[in-house]
């Protein structure tokens, strides 16, 4: 059960008032962060009353949030258990990475086509400098933070709302497993080198090469998942 912050204690009436109209989105984003970060593990039961107290909202608000997250594939319902954090098996991960290979490649190509080549120099500097140091030191947390910004920057530059929505959902569903893959022996160094090649192609304005290299990067990620599947699952 999640801890209840002091500010969200249940009043004497036994109901919890919604503080503002954005309450459902607050719950959606809060749960999304906890699931994607691995704080809430796959299979964890999501109890409406506990979550309502934790977020300081009513149970119907929590119910709406759980439904929204179920539609994104982050929550599922099990008989006699109710809502739980969605569980993803090896086959499911491979299926999502197969889609991501195509969509991440498209994202890199559109981003390259939509912006001046010189605008991507900062990413070359990032992957040659700080990211290389993080990889060498095995400093996972700042590396993953910069990766999140990198993916976001490319998605914004691609300027395709449907692509953005699809990638957001697929990235969320594989976030935990991808982050764990980064911790595998040699993956952070290899991944950094692969992405350096991607951003160098973008800096040259070579959209097709950027797409090809980004797709190869996702295939490489899948190969690591396959190699270490007994550790990851």
> What total of structural domains would you count in the chain?
2
pTM comes to 0.82
Which residue among 85, 100, 135 closes a domain?
85
Which residue among 57, 85, 113 closes a domain?
85
Asked if residue 189 is part of any domain, the answer here is: yes
Strands 82-85 and 75-78 come out as antiparallel
Crossing angle of helices 59-71/48-55, nearest 10°?
110
Exposure string over 118-129, b if 16+ CB within 10 A, otherwise e: eebeebeebbee
Which pLDDT value is given to residue 24? 84
Q: What is the average pLDDT across 191-195?
A: 98
Which pLDDT value is given to residue 17? 42
State the residue range of the domain holding 190.
90-232
Which pLDDT value is given to residue 37? 87
> How does residue 187 score in pLDDT terms, banded at 50, 70 and 90?
very high
Residues 79 and 128 in one domain: no
Q: If you average pLDDT over every residue of the chain, what do you get?
A: 90
Q: How many residues does the chain have?
A: 233
Residues 124 and 211 in one domain: yes
* DSSP string for residues in 81-128: TEEEEPP--HHHHHHHHHHHHHHHHHHHHHHHHHS-GGGGHHHHHHHH
């Amino acid at each position: 059960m999640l801890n209840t912050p002091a500010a969200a204690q249940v009043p004497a009436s036994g109901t919890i008032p919604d503080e503002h109209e954005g309450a459902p989105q607050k719950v959606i984003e809060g749960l999304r962060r906890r699931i994607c970060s691995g704080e809430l593990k796959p299979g964890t039961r999501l109890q409406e009353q506990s979550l309502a107290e934790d977020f300081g909202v009513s149970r119907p608000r929590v119910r709406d949030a759980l439904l929204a997250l179920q539609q994104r594939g982050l929550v599922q319902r099990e008989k006699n258990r109710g809502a739980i954090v969605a569980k993803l098996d090896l086959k499911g991960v491979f299926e999502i990475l197969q889609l991501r290979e195509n969509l991440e490649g498209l994202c890199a190509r559109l981003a390259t086509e939509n912006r001046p080549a010189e605008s991507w120099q900062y990413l070359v500097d990032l992957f040659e400098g700080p990211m290389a140091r993080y990889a060498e030191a095995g400093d996972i947390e700042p590396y993953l933070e910069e990766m999140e910004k990198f993916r976001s920057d490319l998605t914004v530059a691609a300027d395709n709302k449907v692509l953005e929505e699809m990638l957001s959902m697929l990235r969320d569903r594989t976030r935990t497993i991808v982050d764990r893959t980064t911790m595998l022996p040699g993956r952070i160094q290899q991944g950094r080198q692969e992405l350096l090649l991607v951003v160098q192609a973008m800096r040259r304005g070579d959209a097709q090469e950027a797409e090809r290299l980004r797709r190869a990067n996702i295939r490489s990620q899948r190969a690591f998942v396959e190699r270490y599947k007994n550790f990851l699952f």
